[in-house]
Amino acid sequence: MKIDHKLIPSYKCDIIVPIYNTSDELLTRCLSSIAMQVNLKDLHVIIVDDCSDKIDSSNIVNSFKNVMDIDYIKLEENVGAGKARNIGYERGKNEYVLFCDSDDSYFSAFSIEKLLIPFKENRDTLLTMCAFLEQLEGINFKRHQYNLTWIFSKIYRRSFLDKWNIRFPEARNNEDVAFNLLVWACINDINKIKYCDDIVYMWHNNQESITRSADGEYKKTGMVDFVKSYIWTIREKIKRNINDTDFSKQQNMNCIMMLYWYYVMMSNTADDSLMKKYNNMCYEFYCYIISNLTEFVNADNFKQSYLQSIHKCGDIASHYVPLKSIYDWLFAFEQYRKNKERR
């Protein structure tokens, strides 16, 4: 994308970076990618050290103080990435907020500028998101476009987050997923989300991170954590008395489909106790959204959305089963719910 510098806003941003025993090499790469941004004078970096017990990152952070506006917060106890980000957020002061992982980096010197442009072009914009690259192995990369799950490669408007009191849940895993799901629910208007096709962020392959761990334990339990994220989001949505629009209902429907896809994939890998736990949590989620689900579960747009989602999933679509099986799965939940009410 060719940048028109007249459109580039000089809006100030907070960049929140939680760290926990991040190596000097990785943290330096991350901060260097921020330091090279062409609008560096408008950036305020907040490092939140989640009580690292193996590495002292203060020297690395201090080495960048002559280059950019950077704060370092060292927590006295380990609280997890979600709460650490919340602490960093409260220290911030600027209208535009970014979250960056300490083992990742921005793609180019224009990354943050590109994310800011839609806010200048449209005052109603609440969130911007761009493409990012995921490093697989070695020099192999995968491009992600229009990803709604992760918090990086996005800019959030602070006044919007404060209006709805949107913060991260204090969970150890998938807190970023829950955060974004609540963001979508509160925005309730897809036109206030702006997209950019340009790559702005690099998700590097760090085998020591939780999601990349070699033992595979996260992969077995991660889907259960995803369900927890959805349930947390629905509860928070109910607390805020958010009125469902067509956009919000579509999100609920997509959640149901995603939960079922996870169920299919887990059925080949998880043990019986984990599957039972997963199904119990899915049932709880189903009960929360049944009032929204019943009015369109049999509608043509449900089938159309399902098929479109399958098409977008590409190589993993082979793991999914026909639409009728989702109805069977949901029907079992509904029969179980009615039987419980009769008791």
Checking if the pLDDT of 43 tops 50, the result is yes
- Report CA Rg, the chain: 21
Q: Pick the range with the lowest mean pLDDT from 22-36, 71-85, 163-177, 275-289.
A: 275-289
Would you say 102 and 27 are in contact if contact means Cβ atoms under 8 Å apart? yes
CATH number where 169 lies: 3.90.550.10
**Domain range for residue 93?**
13-212
* Same domain, residue pair 133 and 194: yes
* Same domain, residue pair 41 and 143: yes
* Same domain, residue pair 239 and 194: no
Residue 116: inside a domain? yes
Confidence band for 80, pLDDT divided at 50, 70 and 90: very high
> How many domains does the structure of the chain reveal?
2
d(CA 249, CA 228): 19
Q: For the chain, give the percent of residues with pLDDT over 90.
A: 44
Checking if the pLDDT of 39 tops 60, the result is yes
Domain endpoint, select from 190, 212, 234: 212
* Same domain, residue pair 147 and 19: yes
Residue 232, number of CB atoms within 10 A of its CB: 19
Residues ≥6 apart with Cβ < 8 Å to 10 = 39, 42
Residue 5: inside a domain? no
Please give the mean pLDDT across all residues of the chain. 80
pLDDT digits (tens, 9 = 90+) for 106-134: 999 999 999 999 999 999 999 999 999 99
